[in-house]
Chain A
Amino acid sequence: MIELQGLTKRYGETRVVDDISLTVEQGEFCVLIGPSGCGKSTTLKMINRLIAHSEGKILVGGEDITSLPPERLRRRIGYAIQSIGLFPHWRVADNIATVPKLLKWPSSRIAERVEELLALFQLDDDGLQDKYPHQLSGGQAQRVGVARALAADPDVLLMDEPFGAVDPLTRDTLQAELARVHRQTGKTIVFVTHDMDEALRLASRVALLNAGQLVQYDRPAELLVAPANDFVRDFIGRADLGLKLLSRRRVEEYCRPAQRTRNNAIASAPITWQVDADDRPMALLGGRLGEPETARTVVNPEWTATPEMSMKEALSRMVWFRVTALPVLDVEGRLLGEVTMSGVMGHRP
């Protein structure tokens, strides 16, 4: 648990962080977000004393952070930055082992922990642990950075725009992986970003900062549905507020029973799925814009949905393939239900 109480940072007369108070509960994924210069990075770095605070108090696990030497504090708090923060002269395994070595763990325990982390981040390919950072891809380097931060099993993890330097595709994978690691480990994470989509995707709580002040601290859905003021609304992006909201929703919340048939006959419902003997959808009968209700469209794997998919993606697929419904499939490819265009509209946020 992390508590910021009246946290302030002054440089001369300017208050870059101005009287911020918030509590990050155990296991929470807190994203600090705001425009450039809003003080989000400074706030993060005050938590592990990379920057000294001017006023107020920071408690980590109930303890005032000034009560122990900064090095001891930092070894108890994971810290990950952009991939360039890896030590270029150390191999992957040595980079990951940084904090355990500082804590003087026995080498067998260090080796065990490194193995464990390589597996957790799917970095256990042949020879990868013996590579130097510059021999890694951007995504691999970033995974190593996060693995290093987790090495000594800290309760708290601080991350400063860790995915800022990777391409969108890799960032997407890394975000999914971080979300998984967060679920698996239950760490308390404080994460700085300026990317609202990233914040909405990862956060269990979002702290929106502006000019050093905390504007709103809420769950992502609340931020979208009940923005505190116009700044919040503008920052989230007024134009695609609805899409942002859908990006937080998963297909399973919208999924409803599907009408099935084993042959070409049109059933009573306007949208019917023709399935094979294993309940796998083969074709959609009706449900295609601008075509007669009897039209038969063969199901293409590209316009199917899974329960974990975001509704934003599902909607995007519907629009792109001009269908008013997507089949929701389980891992075996069997029909679980359907999401429909009218279902998206009908659902209350």
Chain B
Amino acid sequence: MNVSALPRPPSSRRVLLISLSVLLIALMLGMEQLAPLFRALFPDQDPAMYQRESFLNLTLAHLALVLVSSLISVSVGVAAGLFVTRPAGREFEPLVSTLAAIGQTFPPAAVLAIVVPIAGFGFVPTLVALVLYGLLPVVQNTVAGLGTVPSQTLEAARGNGMNAWQILWRIELPLAMRVIIAGVRVSVIINIGTATIGSTVGAKTLGTPIIAGLVGNNLPYVIQGAVLVGLLAIVTDLAFERLEQRFSFGESGKA
């Protein structure tokens, strides 16, 4: 999981991030231009290019779903992680960890099956499934990250006259941030992939061409959707890697 430990100079990671981002944007805007290529590769498929919706719209809808679900997962997850590491909430730690774990054990498809009858088809049930699914890594890493702050550091903070808020904002959160961001990274990457199944209940995502391709036995559709989802996940992962490094405080690349 710790990609940043790879023995690669950071500058080449940046080049990779930039070139993959360019590729992603190009495909998002101009997938349709590749129609001749797909026709040549799959002469028996007609049509060989998904055309019911533009890939730009699909990608933006996909991103919107991931963004909203991740925002909820992260706010709820970090808040829960903070709560159970404060003196007042310490006894709830096992309960919260268990709940978050259950959220992840539940297959997203099962969550969809339960939520669709209640909330109907489309965006909302997918959102619920993604939020539940993305919660665990955030909660876990928030608790773990706050746990890595040495007790001597906390004692020094208290001894120098910081109050509980100052200790949290100036010491604990910055020191835990790397681990928390790693949790958010896992959560968001999982959600980018998992969001595709939202298309089974009618949410507009990059899963839509994939599902259509699977149902209609059209491999080009599957490839067109999957390539964009894959690129989106890799670019996001590389971007998070750079974000994590901002909280390394002079220890370049050390976890």
CB interface residues, A 106-143, toward B, < 8 Å:
131-132, 134-135
Alpha-carbon separation in the docked complex, A85 to B150 (Å): 8
Residue in A71, A73, A98 whose CB lies within 8 Å of B163: A71
- The distance from the CB of B129 to the nearest CB of chain A, in whole angstroms, is 36
* Contact yes or no, A85 B156, CB < 8 A: yes
Most buried by A among B150, B156, B249: B156
Most buried by A among B159, B174, B247, B251: B159
Residue in B152, B155, B247 whose CB lies within 8 Å of A50: B155
* Contact yes or no, B160 A98, CB < 8 A: yes
Residue in B156, B158, B159, B249 whose CB lies within 8 Å of A89: B249
What are 24 A-B pairs at a CB distance below 8 A?
A: A71-B161, A72-B161, A74-B158, A74-B159, A74-B160, A74-B161, A75-B160, A75-B161, A81-B155, A81-B159, A85-B152, A85-B153, A86-B156, A87-B170, A89-B171, A89-B175, A89-B247, A99-B161, A102-B162, A102-B166, A131-B250, A132-B249, A132-B250, A132-B251
A295 at the interface (CB under 8 A from B): no
Which residues does chain A contribute within 8 Å of B174, judged by CB atoms?
89
B157 at the interface (CB under 8 A from A): yes
- The distance from the CB of A151 to the nearest CB of chain B, in whole angstroms, is 9
CB interface residues, A 41-57, toward B, < 8 Å:
48, 50
Alpha-carbon separation in the docked complex, A89 to B249 (Å): 5
* Contact yes or no, A87 B158, CB < 8 A: no
Residue in B158, B166, B249 whose CB lies within 8 Å of A88: B249
Leading 4 A-B pairs by shortest Cβ distance: A85-B156, A75-B161, A79-B159, A74-B161
Which residues does chain B contribute within 8 Å of A99, judged by CB atoms?
160-161
Alpha-carbon separation in the docked complex, A272 to B22 (Å): 88
- The distance from the CB of A305 to the nearest CB of chain B, in whole angstroms, is 40
A170 at the interface (CB under 8 A from B): no
Residue in A79, A134, A149 whose CB lies within 8 Å of B251: A134
Alpha-carbon separation in the docked complex, A82 to B152 (Å): 8
Alpha-carbon separation in the docked complex, A131 to B250 (Å): 8
Which residues does chain B contribute within 8 Å of A176, judged by CB atoms?
none
A88-B175, A132-B249 in contact; A79/B156 too (CB < 8 A)?
yes
Which residues does chain B contribute within 8 Å of A74, judged by CB atoms?
158-161
List the A residue with the shortest CB-CB distance to B154.
Answer: A85
Which residues does chain A contribute within 8 Å of B161, judged by CB atoms?
71-75, 99, 102
Alpha-carbon separation in the docked complex, A99 to B250 (Å): 23
List the A residue with the shortest CB-CB distance to B156.
Answer: A85
A181 at the interface (CB under 8 A from B): no
- The distance from the CB of A172 to the nearest CB of chain B, in whole angstroms, is 24
A9 at the interface (CB under 8 A from B): no
Alpha-carbon separation in the docked complex, A85 to B162 (Å): 14
Alpha-carbon separation in the docked complex, A88 to B155 (Å): 13
List the A residue with the shortest CB-CB distance to B174.
Answer: A89
- The distance from the CB of A133 to the nearest CB of chain B, in whole angstroms, is 9
Alpha-carbon separation in the docked complex, A85 to B249 (Å): 16
A84 at the interface (CB under 8 A from B): yes
A148 at the interface (CB under 8 A from B): yes
* Contact yes or no, B156 A87, CB < 8 A: yes
List the B residue with the shortest CB-CB distance to A98.
Answer: B160
Which residues does chain A contribute within 8 Å of B247, judged by CB atoms?
89
Most buried by A among B156, B160, B247, B250: B160
List the A residue with the shortest CB-CB distance to B249.
Answer: A89
| Contact digits for B85-114, partner A, Cβ 8 Å, 1 yes 0 no | 000000000000000000000000000000
Which residues does chain B contribute within 8 Å of A87, judged by CB atoms?
153, 156-157, 170-171
List the B residue with the shortest CB-CB distance to A83.
Answer: B152
Which residues does chain B contribute within 8 Å of A85, judged by CB atoms?
152-153, 155-156, 159
Which residues does chain B contribute within 8 Å of A158, judged by CB atoms?
159
* Contact yes or no, A135 B150, CB < 8 A: no
- List 11 additional A-B contacts (Cβ < 8 Å) besides A71-B162, A74-B160, A158-B159: A73-B161, A74-B158, A74-B159, A79-B156, A79-B159, A81-B155, A87-B157, A88-B153, A98-B162, A99-B160, A149-B160
